[in-house]
């Protein structure tokens, strides 16, 4: 996958993206892995008391910053959306590489650019806490994205998943408009779920 330096996300993230990043590779499902990794973070008796909802989303705080009137990241010049990030120094080089590969995917396929934090008001801080989780959308100020090293072991799938939450995406089955697109077979749902 080329020299690690080619993944450095400097300035406006305009460095070239390695040719050998393929979508097929990303589409390997990581969905089963997040619940397994986060298992210990969610109390089985009182899942409603957990700080996570839906397995890996930080419960929205009732004390959100007043500066955030909407939780979208603002669009800049040319429709580019910049997400400033801090990457914990606790990550080793292979882990950093996986995360920077995920940034490169967004740069390649979307108008999203992850840019190195330089005193921005709102930014994400990516660090290896226990488990893989994020808030949905822009929280205001610093917001934590936890990517434990176990979240990085199978490549960038889980990183992309959590970064999608950062961008404002909920899980597809929980979208506000999901009932327009799917039919829920309620009788197929196990008691307790
Ligand atoms: Zn998720």
Q: 37-65 pLDDT, tens per residue?
A: 998 888 777 767 788 988 999 988 776 65
- Centre of ligand 1 to C-alpha 132, Å, is 9
Q: pLDDT: is 151 or 13 the higher one? A: 151
* Dihedral pair phi/psi, residue 3, rounded to 5°: -70, 140
Non-local CB neighbours of 116 within 8 Å, separated by 6+ positions:
9, 10, 11, 84, 85
- Centre of ligand 1 to C-alpha 69, Å, is 23
Q: Answer yes or no: are the C-beta atoms of 172 and 31 closer than 8 Å.
A: no
Q: Answer yes or no: are the C-beta atoms of 69 and 98 closer than 8 Å.
A: no
Region of poorest pLDDT, from 18-22, 96-100, 145-149, 175-179 = 18-22
How is residue 122 written in tokens?
Answer: 């709102």
Annotated binding-site residue? 161: yes
Quick one: average pLDDT of 163-169? Answer: 96
- Centre of ligand 1 to C-alpha 99, Å, is 16
How is residue 192 written in tokens?
Answer: 């307790």
Percent of the chain with pLDDT over 70: 79
Q: Which helix (H) or strand (E) holds 82?
A: strand 81-87
Please, what sign has the CA dihedral across residues 4, 6, 10, 16? negative
How is residue 185 written in tokens?
Answer: 């077979």
Annotated binding-site residue? 173: no
Q: Answer yes or no: are the C-beta atoms of 162 and 132 closer than 8 Å.
A: yes
Quick one: average pLDDT of 72-76? Answer: 95
Choosing from 44, 54, 162, 172, the catalytic residue is 162
Annotated binding-site residue? 165: yes
Instruction: Return the pLDDT at 68.
Output: 61
- Centre of ligand 1 to C-alpha 187, Å, is 25
Global pTM reads 0.76
C-alpha 140/C-alpha 70 separation (Å) is 10
C-alpha 104/C-alpha 170 separation (Å) is 22
Q: Answer yes or no: are the C-beta atoms of 37 and 154 closer than 8 Å.
A: no
Mean pLDDT (the chain, rounded): 83
State yes or no: is 101 an active-site residue. Answer: no
Q: Answer yes or no: are the C-beta atoms of 55 and 34 closer than 8 Å.
A: yes
Does pLDDT of 31 surpass 70? no
């Amino acid at each position: 996958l080329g020299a690690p330096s080619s993944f450095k996300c400097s300035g406006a993230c305009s460095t070239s993206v390695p040719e050998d990043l393929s979508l097929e590779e990303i589409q390997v499902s990581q969905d089963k892995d997040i619940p397994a990794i986060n298992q210990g973070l969610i109390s089985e008796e009182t899942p409603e008391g957990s700080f996570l909802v839906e397995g890996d989303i930080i419960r929205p705080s009732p004390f959100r910053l007043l500066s955030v009137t909407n939780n979208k990241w603002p669009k800049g010049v040319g429709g580019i959306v910049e997400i400033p990030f801090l990457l914990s120094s606790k990550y080793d080089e292979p882990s950093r590489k996986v995360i920077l590969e995920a940034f490169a995917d967004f740069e390649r396929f979307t108008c999203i650019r992850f840019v190195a934090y330089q005193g921005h008001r709102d930014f994400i801080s990516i660090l290896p806490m226990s488990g893989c989780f994020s808030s949905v959308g822009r929280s205001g100020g610093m917001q934590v994205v936890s990517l434990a090293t176990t979240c990085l072991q199978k490549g960038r799938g889980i990183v992309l998943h959590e970064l999608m939450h950062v961008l404002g995406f909920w899980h597809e089955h929980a979208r506000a408009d999901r009932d327009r697109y799917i039919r829920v077979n309620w009788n197929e749902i196990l008691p307790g779920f």
